[in-house]
Structure 1
Amino acid sequence: MRPLDPYRSVKAALGALVIVSVTITTLLVFVAIHTDTELRIVTIFSIIATMLITQFVAHGLTSPLDEMKTVARAMANGDYSRRVRAERRDELGDLAATFNHMAADLEAVDRHRKELVANVSHELRTPIAGLRGVLENVVDGVSKADPETMRTALRQTERLGRLVETLLDLSRLDNGVVPLRARRFEVWPYLSGVLREANMAAAAVGQNGRGARGRTDVHLHLDVSPPELAAYADAERLHQVVANLVDNAVKHSPPHGRVTLRARRGAGAGSLELEVLDEGPGIPESERHRIFERFNRGCVSTPHGPGSDGGTGLGLAIARWAVDLHGGSIGVAESARGCRIRVTLPGRTQDQG
């Protein structure tokens, strides 16, 4: 333990320094009076004692700052694993705890940056390698540029385009350049339109034979109560949320399964509660806090349906950021079967008028 660790305030430590110095000086004066010691000798001893105590206290005050300086230099060189001791109970102890929190955040950001680069490189390499292989076969005469070969190349190009588009969405959301254009709208026609688009996209993809994204065997069901329910949100951003959640639910549904999109009135004016339920394997409780992380595909690595690529692991991350943009919440709710994702949007706030 350092000299000043027990103190709850630097002011208290400095006050103790003054009291001890005065006490020692007073005692030396009494000793001088009763022993006929010369005043200059008493003065010299008082100065020496005061300097020793001051040095003792100064070491206690500056040692945590020196430690922070050392750790900061290590962080500047890329080492974010270092921490300072936060045992003191005074202002410097609070500063040390805040410093450690900042260091942990920087370490997490650095780790996330490295993972992001590695994952993006991996995700981009896969469709590029597939597209390159198809084109090389056509150029070398191994395969002809028939419709089937071109469809294979198109699938890889579309996958690459989806990945780039989702990365751009995340970049805009992270940088705060996505404006929130909230308005009032009727929930039933809006959500039915989203599901209709999902059905049309699945049918079109299925006709071209492009894998699990084209699953038409899963039934999409809409449940809005009351039917005249209205909400206040950014329709475009909410479309991203619903489309990604429905797409994720479809990919993990069993053959001829059912995905239900449920909408209910929230607690506030214009607020909305959405739930997307599927009949898939569900999400283990230990994985629920990670499913909204970027590039996280969960423990169910092989969704139902042939030829699935498993997705990029970005859809739920985009859904979370879009919900956060509204000031709402998204998470996994308890469900007796399959997975249930619940979204809560606050609606019109007082600041929005």
Structure 2
Amino acid sequence: MGRLRHWAWNALRPVDPARSIKAALQALVIASVMITTLLVLIAFHSKTGIRVITIFSIIASLLITQIVATNLTAPLREMTAVARAMARGDYSRRVAGVRRDEVGELAETFNRMAADLEAVDHHRKELVANVSHELRTPIAALRAVLENVVDGVSEPDPETMRLALRQTERLGKLVSQLLDLSRLDSGAVLLDAKRFEVWPYLSAVLKTAGLGMGGTHASGTRFRPRADVPMHLDVFPPELVAYADGERLHQVVANLVDNAVKHSPPGGRVTVRARSGPTPGSLDLEVRDEGPGIPEADRDRVFERFHRGSRPGRDGGTGLGLAIARWAVDLHGGRIEVAESPRGCRIHVTLPGKPSGQR
């Protein structure tokens, strides 16, 4: 019954003046003809002259046409005003009093476009503000160190130079992450997925990340490991093979482990666990720490750009690492989420493996 009613509702649209401009114009013509005919009949049965009747019929037709035209074009005039406001940078305006006809559908689409542009503009302003803040902090710290050295307040000893190097590394890491996000937005990154052995790959990623062994971070900056946080790699079976883009997966693992180490207490262990997924080449990956965990209210937002959440830790970071990890996982068509854990934080990553039809 409901389907029949829906079909009848759509079938009657072409003849419904409230939902079709064509039907409204047809109704206008019919109304004008009927009024003219009625006035002519009145003229035949009365002493009123045909000229007077003609003038009255023209006036009536013009009035009806004016009313209908004003009603039909009101949303178009409002859209013009809103578009001019948007050209001046005001994206908060919307088209009100939306009709049910084709012009109303255009107005609804226009409102959705305005809402999208407002969201993009808000995101752009937020991004500029966050990037400015993130760049200002290490630059101010580096400037203070160098000014102290130039003014003779501090000696250019190894400890002072290490402090300056640390701020330079922070700047390099932020710039590298912003470049990754720029490639994300432009859609310029393509996957180069291949089969690989999981154990040696993850072992090499941890070594390259410098965790407990020194080395280079995935962003290209030097990483200072925490010797008080032991690492554990758990891969089963040991000969496990998966299918993914090695460089993009490197970003995922390095950023997740980096985040886990930052929030681990002294002596807290970080575990990277890998298992086979349900389909050939798929991979279930987990990174666990023994830190304070992520509050439930923040679990849906930790993968947003510049979102640091309320989890206490040693370093707030830039709020970009988890956003980049989600981007890399999304490129694979996989899933990343904060999983339930009795202790600490557990990030669960699922990669689908080789698409069907590929060799």
TM range (shorter): 0.7 to 0.9
Q: Which has the higher contact order (CA 8 A, sep 6+)?
A: 1
* Matches of 2:106 and 2:308, distance apart in 1: 38
Q: Where do residues 257-268 of structure 1 align in structure 2 (5 Å cutoff)?
A: 257-268=268-279
**More deviation in 262-271 or 112-121?**
262-271
Q: Is structure 2 residue 323 aligned with structure 1 residue 317?
A: yes
Q: 1:8 to 1:196 in 2, by over 3 A?
A: same
Q: Where do residues 152-301 of structure 1 align in structure 2 (5 Å cutoff)?
A: 152-198=163-209, 200-204=210-214, 214-300=225-311
* Matches of 2:302 and 2:263, distance apart in 1: 14
* Matches of 1:52 and 1:45, distance apart in 2: 11
* Matches of 2:275 and 2:49, distance apart in 1: 90
* Matches of 1:336 and 1:91, distance apart in 2: 55
Q: 1:18 to 1:343 in 2, by over 3 A?
A: farther
- Give the corresponding residue for 2:343: 337
Query: In 2, are the aligned partners of 1:326 and 1:345 still within 8 Å (CA)?
Result: yes
* Matches of 1:172 and 1:54, distance apart in 2: 54
- Give the corresponding residue for 1:8: 19
Instruction: Quote how far apart the aligned CAs of 1:255 are.
Output: 2.9
Q: 1:230 to 1:196 in 2, by over 3 A?
A: same
Q: Secondary structure at the match of 2:133?
A: helix
Letter in 1 for 2:23: A
With normalisation by structure 1, the TM-score equals: 0.85
Instruction: Quote how far apart the aligned CAs of 1:213 are.
Output: 5.6
Instruction: Quote how far apart the aligned CAs of 1:68 are.
Output: 1.1
Query: Structure 1, residues 175-197: CA drift from partner, whole Å, max 9, x if none?
Result: 22223211122223222322333
With normalisation by structure 2, the TM-score equals: 0.84
Instruction: Quote how far apart the aligned CAs of 1:173 are.
Output: 2.2
Q: Secondary structure at the match of 1:292?
A: coil
Q: Secondary structure at the match of 2:214?
A: helix
What residue ranges of structure 2 are gaps of 5+ in the alignment?
Answer: 1-15, 216-222
Query: In 1, are the aligned partners of 2:82 and 2:95 still within 8 Å (CA)?
Result: yes
* Matches of 1:250 and 1:341, distance apart in 2: 13
Query: In 1, are the aligned partners of 2:291 and 2:345 still within 8 Å (CA)?
Result: yes
**More deviation in 24-33 or 115-124?**
24-33
Q: Secondary structure at the match of 1:102?
A: helix
Instruction: Quote how far apart the aligned CAs of 1:284 are.
Output: 2.6
* Matches of 2:61 and 2:212, distance apart in 1: 83
- Give the corresponding residue for 1:116: 127
Letter in 2 for 1:298: G
Root-mean-square deviation (CA), in Å?
2.6
Letter in 1 for 2:46: T
Q: Secondary structure at the match of 1:35?
A: coil
Q: How many residues align?
A: 337
Q: 1:30 to 1:343 in 2, by over 3 A?
A: farther
Q: 1:271 to 1:26 in 2, by over 3 A?
A: farther
Query: In 1, are the aligned partners of 2:212 and 2:231 still within 8 Å (CA)?
Result: no
- Give the corresponding residue for 1:209: none
Q: 1:77 to 1:230 in 2, by over 3 A?
A: same
The percent of aligned pairs where both chains have the same amino acid is: 74
Q: Is structure 2 residue 86 aligned with structure 1 residue 75?
A: yes
